[in-house]
Amino acid sequence: MKYQWIEAYCMAKKGVIKDYQNEWEAFRYFVGGKMFVMQGSDKAGNAIITLKCDPIDAEMLRAKYEAIIPGYYMNKKHWNSIDLNGNISDELMKKMIDVSYELIFEKLTKKKQAEIQSGI
């Protein structure tokens, strides 16, 4: 896999915790108890990462990149899955992870956001 930096990149964000979902054979990254990244594989065994997206941006990215498809086992309007063997630049991958984190973080209560920002 060419994106070996994903775990460190996700874990460097404030308030992130990681777990492993046995049933899905996937690593999940959470902020404030809400998932923003799932990294695993599809039914064919292809390595994928699934990220929350703005619905308009999600459609645009799918149209532009073959490696980006509607979220695998997720709400297809709000999530995209990216084939980790595809041709997506590190810069774009990081931007998509950042957007996913921000979309989830913004939906948290102001109290929860403050706790995460202060490291409580």
CB 10 within 8 A of CB 18: yes
pLDDT of res. 120: 65
Closest CA to 102 of 89, 88, 114, 113: 113
Q: Mean of the pLDDT values across residues 69-83?
A: 93
Model confidence over 14-61: pLDDT tens digits?
999 999 999 989 999 999 999 999 999 998 999 999 999 999 999 999
pLDDT tier at 73, thresholds 50, 70, 90: confident
Model confidence over 82-117: pLDDT tens digits?
999 999 999 999 999 999 999 999 999 999 999 999
pLDDT of res. 1: 53
Distance separating the N- and C-terminal Cα atoms of the chain: 34
